[in-house]
């Protein structure tokens, strides 16, 4: 019988480590943050205990996801050092770190490049109108600051993930302009691996009084994004925020090809448990899709990494191929 090659959907076997939940931004839709000084920072010994338990779990990506300490805070240097040390620890224990810690300086990004195979920052939406609403108390959500991060990532040759948050008060035209801005920056450096299209999903902590972004609109947004973005950027959607299995499949058909990091808990949307690998396979395979694990760095970017990082990535690529 002939071998049938099904189209693939990728995901990253991941675990999220949070250095701190404290954040100087107060985005009204956030279900993650705590006030500065109200959250204990993760210690290296506690992180080592977590990572030790994960070493036999086929987890490759350690997502370092942090709240933001103000750039002028006396705690900023200690915060950055804790993030760096956590990345270094994860790398030493055989994992592949990916950091998303909000707005960073050029020097901070340059240093983190040494201990991360990729990094990320959500643009969310570039319309300045949101600075009067959901981002009124979020100084690092100024659109120009976030665009600058994408630009710096390209200049530093950091494989990068960004994305949009849908349904936080933006117009449809705002979405397309944000996608166009991503496409334009990517044309200069070709460094953006993925764009996440994340529907706003209400949680227990937020003060933003707005309904969930209609998931039935998501396939249309994906199709438009696929027209705007260059073909070498993968579109990612979080499957735990698309409850209807048929509409999850419709998102694949519209052009989404990645489901992001699948870990025990979605720290950003803690009210929405992640669908685990076996559940996703049961949804995708009968519809003709093959679910395939990936690393947090795409193969075309391996040459951007240091020799040390390339060695760990090479081991993981061999492991994934052997175990498929």
Q: In CATH, what is the architecture of 8-322? A: Alpha-Beta Barrel (3.20)
Percentage of the chain beyond pLDDT 70 is 97
| Average pLDDT along the chain, 324 residues, taken 10 residues at a time | 72 97 97 92 98 94 98 97 98 97 98 98 97 97 97 98 98 98 97 98 94 94 98 97 93 98 93 93 96 97 97 92 63
Q: DSSP letter for 236, please.
A: E
| Residues in CB range of 288: below 8 A, 6 or more apart | 6, 7
pLDDT at 321: 61
Output the pLDDT for position 243: 84
* Structure confidence by residue, pLDDT tens digits, 52-74: 999 989 899 999 999 999 999 99
Alpha-carbon distance 96 to 116, whole Å? Answer: 7
């Amino acid at each position: 019988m002939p071998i049938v090659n099904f189209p693939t959907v990728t995901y990253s076997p991941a675990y999220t480590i949070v250095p701190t939940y404290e954040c100087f931004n107060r985005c009204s839709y956030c279900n993650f943050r705590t006030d500065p000084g109200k959250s204990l920072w993760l210690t290296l010994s506690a992180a080592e205990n977590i990572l030790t338990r994960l070493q036999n779990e086929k987890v490759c990506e350690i997502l370092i996801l942090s709240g933001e300490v103000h750039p002028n805070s006396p705690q900023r240097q200690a915060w950055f050092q804790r993030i760096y040390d956590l990345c270094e620890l994860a790398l030493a224990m055989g994992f592949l770190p990916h950091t998303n810690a909000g707005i960073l300086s050029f020097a901070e990004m340059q240093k983190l490049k040494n201990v991360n195979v990729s990094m990320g920052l959500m643009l969310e939406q570039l319309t300045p109108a949101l600075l009067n609403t959901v981002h009124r108390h979020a100084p690092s959500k100024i659109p120009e600051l976030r665009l600058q991060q994408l630009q710096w990532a390209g200049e530093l040759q950091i494989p990068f993930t960004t994305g949009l948050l849908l349904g936080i008060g933006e117009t449809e035209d705002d979405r397309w302009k944000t996608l166009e801005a991503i496409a334009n920056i990517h044309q200069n450096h070709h460094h953006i691996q993925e764009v996440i299209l994340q529907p706003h999903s209400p949680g227990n902590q937020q003060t933003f009084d707005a309904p969930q972004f209609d998931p039935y609109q998501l396939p249309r947004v994906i199709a438009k994004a696929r027209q705007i973005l260059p073909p070498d950027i993968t579109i990612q959607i979080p499957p735990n925020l698309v409850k209807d299995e048929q509409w999850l499949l419709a998102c694949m058909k519209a052009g989404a090809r990645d489901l992001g990091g699948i870990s025990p808990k979605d720290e950003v949307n803690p009210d929405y448990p992640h669908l685990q690998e076996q559940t996703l396979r049961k949804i995708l395979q009968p519809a003709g899709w093959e679910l395939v694990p990936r690393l947090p760095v795409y193969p075309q970017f391996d040459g951007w990494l240091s020799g040390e990082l390339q060695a760990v990535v090479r081991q993981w690529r061999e492991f994934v191929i052997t175990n498929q």
